[in-house]
Every structure is written in structure tokens, then in C-alpha cells.
Structure 1
Amino acid sequence: MAELNGNPVTLEDLQALALTNYGHFTFMHLRDGTVKGLSLHLDRLVRDCRIVFGVDLDRERTLNHIRKAVHGVSGLVGLRVTIFDPDLDMGRPGDGKNPHVLVNLRPAGTAPPSPLTAKTFTFTRDNAEVKHLGLHPQLRLRRDAQLAGFDDAVFLEPDGRISEGATWNLGFIDQDGTVIWPDAPVVPGTTMLLLQNLDTPSQITAPVRLADLPDMAAAFATSTTAGVRPVSALDDAQFANKHSTLTALRDAYTAIPDERL
């Protein structure tokens, strides 16, 4: 199911999106008309629209398009909101200043995610602060990681700092139980932001390099899809799948109230 600006989407509407792949998006879980971190998702859409298109996105109009698209939908579904300009021309992307709102719904998995293994690659996402549509580099490295026997890819800055996963944020837990968020260019994920707003457990942001991994008690991925997911291996480094801080993070995230559309 898909709607563009509150109307059924056509093939012609999607042509620019398919051929230019220029725009940005957010993905959330809709549960019986509520979304965890809804305000943060809307903040992201407004912020990224200024960066990508240089214009202000109408927050309330966008929310109304979402409400219309999900009217009558129950249960748990995946909800993606993509902002793009159907009239954008590849030769003159600077003329693209009329962003439209594309809303897609898809089934959402309910099974608890298994622990994740990841392989590191030196790579920095273009416009790392924007959740944009340019996913080819990340998916190529995810593919390379899977061909090497891992589940996914994790990125390293040229100076060796660990940053993020292919489509998720990464965190660590040190031997004292403190959460460490890597100090590096990353997409400001809504799940990560919700966790960072918690009063407990203790959290810091600091550079993390491969040489620091033996000092870490646990590692985890965060995303709308998986919530808080243990990372059991990063290259040759192994981490515990269970840790009291990891449990506390997961429980605290689950307890964050959803917002109604």
C-alpha cells in the first residue's frame, strides 16, 4: 500500500524516485495507531528536508498524510515515509524544491532478533547526519560482510574510529556497565536518541577503536526494526549476548510510551 500526498500513487509519480534516487526518509513501527518516537521521526523529516531540498517541510501536513494512509490499519506494521520531488530532473537537482510525501506500509516482523555478527570496513556515509536514499554503498558492504560469513557491516572512519552499522546505530558497554556511544559521524537514529534520553543506565559518548574492543563487556545495535539487539561479534572480537546493562536498556526502551498519530 502506498499514497503520495494523501492520494493513490501512480507509476508516473514514482519515476523520478526510481531514476534519480534523491530524497530522504524515515521508518517507524505503527502499532494500533501509535508510534514509539513519533516526534523524533517528524523532527528528522523536517530537519533532513532543509538539508536535502533547502525548504521547510510542513510538519502538520505530513502528519495528516500519514494519518490518512494508515486509517483503519490495526496490529503491527512497518511505516516508511519518503520525501522526494516527483518533478526533480537529474540535470538540475537544484530546482527540486517541492518535496512530496510518500507513505508506504509493509508487514513488520515480531520475532525477537538474534544476536548479530558484523565485519568492519573503512567507510564514511555521505551526509552521515541525513537518512537519505543513497543506500548502495551500505548495501554493497553489507553484501561483502555476508559473503565473508557475517550478518552485517560496521563502518570505521579513516582515523580508525568505529561509527555505525549499515542501517543501524552501534553502542558498547564497558566493564563498569557504562554505555558508550561512538563519537563519530552517524545517522541520529530515533531508537538511539530515545535511549540517550534515559536517566539510567550511565551513558557517555567517546571515540571507540578496534583496539578498545577487548575492554568492552558487550555491544549492541539499535534500530526501529530490532529495538536493542545484541552484537555477539565484531570481526574477531567476541561479546556476551547477555549483560545486565543490555537488559536494562531493552526493558527501558520497551517501557517508553508510544505516541498516538
Structure 2
Amino acid sequence: MAELNGRPVSLDQFQALALTNYGHFTSLRVDEGRVRGLALHLDRLGRDCRVLFGVDLDVERVRELIRRVAPARGSITIRVTVFDPAMDLGHPDRATDPQILVTHRPAGSLPLPPLRVQSALYVRDAPEVKSVGLFGLLRHRRVAQLNGFDDALFMDGNELISEGGTWNVGFFDGEQVVWPEADCLVGVTMRLLQEAHEHRVAPVALGDVAPMKAAFATNAAIGVRAIARIDDMEMPGDHPIIDILRKEYMDATGDSL
């Protein structure tokens, strides 16, 4: 199901998004009518709209549109995409009237099995923006999967670990959670965990991973997911810190829609 500004979306309206791939989005999980970090999701949409379109987004309207499709019971994953259906490839400067597309899919059962990831040198365009431009990350995810992994783990030009394809990455050094210091999209789940658990932010090179006691991926759809392998390095997929972080995240009070 897809709605544009609360109404069924037409093929013509989808065309600009498909052909120009210019816009931004956030994905959130609704459990029993509540969303963990809802204010952070709405803040992200407002910030990215100003960056990409130079206008303010009516975030309360976004909230209303999410509420329209969110069930009062059960779980669902909702994606809010902001784009201008009148976008002209030759004149992107005229894209100043962004609209709100709301789509949804069933929410997966949690927790998910551990990930196996392959490192890759890659930095997204404007990594601080949750852009609809997914070509690069999907290309690297495809390569990783063809090589027998589940996903890609990105490193920047200095070969410092930054983020995963559609998730943040964290490590546990035996005493603290370590979030890599690098240009990346700071996710809502990551921010909620930073509020809940002692941590530090520091550069993490691939060579720093071997002494780590555990590694994990986070986003709104998967919560906290263990990483069991990075390239040829095996990591414990059942370290106690994973369950601790999962509980802290699940215990976060969701905001009512």
C-alpha cells in the first residue's frame, strides 16, 4: 500500500522518484501503536528536507499520515519518503514542493540471526542525509552476497569503519560500547542506545576489530543484530552484551502516534 499526502499514489506521481532518485526518507517500526524515537525520526525528516529542498516540512502532517496506516495492535514497518513529483532532471533547482509518500510492509520477527559482513571502501554521497539514492550501497551488498556474506561494512578513505549498508555498526571492547568515529548516518536506534548505555566514540580501523569482544548492527527495523563475521574474522554472535543492548532498546518507551 502506498499513499501520497494521504491519497492513493498514481504511476505518474511515482515517475519522478523512479527516474531522478532524488529525495530522502526514514523507516520506523510501529509496535502496538507506538514508535521508539518518533521525535528523532521526525527531526531527521525535517532536517533532510531543508538540506535537499530548502523548505520546512510539516512534521505534524507526517505524523498524521503515519497514523493513518499504522495499526493499533501488532507490528509494522513504515517508510516515509519525501520527494517532489514535479522534479525535472534538467532543473533540480525548481524542486521546492516536496510531498510525503507513506508505504508499509510487515515487520520482521526479532531477534534476527547474526550477520556476516564483508568490508568495502565506500562513502555515500552526503552520508549525513538518509537519501533515496541507494545504488552504491546496494551494489556493495550484492557483491558481498555473491561472495557468501550477508551485507557490506563500509570503510572511508582512511580505511576507518563507518557504517553498514542500511545500519550503524557498534563494537564492545570488554568494558564499553564503541561507536566508530567517521562520517555516517547517525541512526535513531544508535542514538537511543547511546542514551541508554555507556559508550565512547572513537576511530575504528579494520585492524582494531580482532581484539573486540563483540560487534553488532542497529537500525529501526532490526533493533540490535549481532555480527558473527567480518571478512575472515569470526565474532561471537551470542555475547551477553548483545542481549543487554537488545533489552535496553526494547525497554525504550515508544512514542504514541
The TM-score by the shorter chain falls in which range?
A: over 0.9
Q: How does 1:141-180 map to 2 (within 5 A)?
A: 141-175=140-174, 177-180=175-178
Alignment partner of 1:203 is 2:206 = no
Asked if the contact 2:33–2:73 (Cα under 8 Å) also holds between the matched residues in 1, the reply is yes
> Counterparts of 2:207 and 2:219 in 1: how far apart (Å)?
25
Alignment partner of 1:252 is 2:251 = no
Asked if the contact 1:3–1:69 (Cα under 8 Å) also holds between the matched residues in 2, the reply is no
Asked if the contact 2:111–2:224 (Cα under 8 Å) also holds between the matched residues in 1, the reply is no
**Partner SS state of residue 210, structure 2:** helix
Runs (5+) with no aligned partner, structure 1: none
Q: How far off its partner does 1:58 sit?
A: 1.1
Tell me which of 229, 239, 248 is aligned to 1:243. Answer: 239
% identity of equivalent residues: 49
Q: How far off its partner does 1:15 sit?
A: 1.1
Alignment partner of 1:58 is 2:58 = yes
Q: Which deviations, in whole Å up to 9, do the C-alpha atoms of 1:186-220 show, x marking residues without a partner?
A: 1111110110111x3x2000000011112101000
Alignment partner of 1:227 is 2:226 = no
CA RMSD of superposed structures (Å): 1.2
**Partner SS state of residue 214, structure 1:** coil
> Counterparts of 1:33 and 1:249 in 2: how far apart (Å)?
23
Q: How far off its partner does 1:115 sit?
A: 0.6
> Counterparts of 1:230 and 1:182 in 2: how far apart (Å)?
16
Q: Which deviations, in whole Å up to 9, do the C-alpha atoms of 1:4-62 show, x marking residues without a partner?
A: 11112111111111111110000011123211111111011001111111111111122
Partner of 2:35: 35
Q: How far off its partner does 1:99 sit?
A: 0.6
Partner of 1:120: 119
TM-score normalized by structure 1? 0.95
> Counterparts of 2:95 and 2:61 in 1: how far apart (Å)?
19
> Counterparts of 2:15 and 2:83 in 1: how far apart (Å)?
11
**Partner SS state of residue 103, structure 2:** strand
Q: Which deviations, in whole Å up to 9, do the C-alpha atoms of 1:93-130 show, x marking residues without a partner?
A: 11101110001111121142101010001110110001
TM-score normalized by structure 2? 0.97
> Counterparts of 1:243 and 1:149 in 2: how far apart (Å)?
23
Runs (5+) with no aligned partner, structure 2: none
Partner of 2:44: 44
Q: How far off its partner does 1:73 sit?
A: 5.6
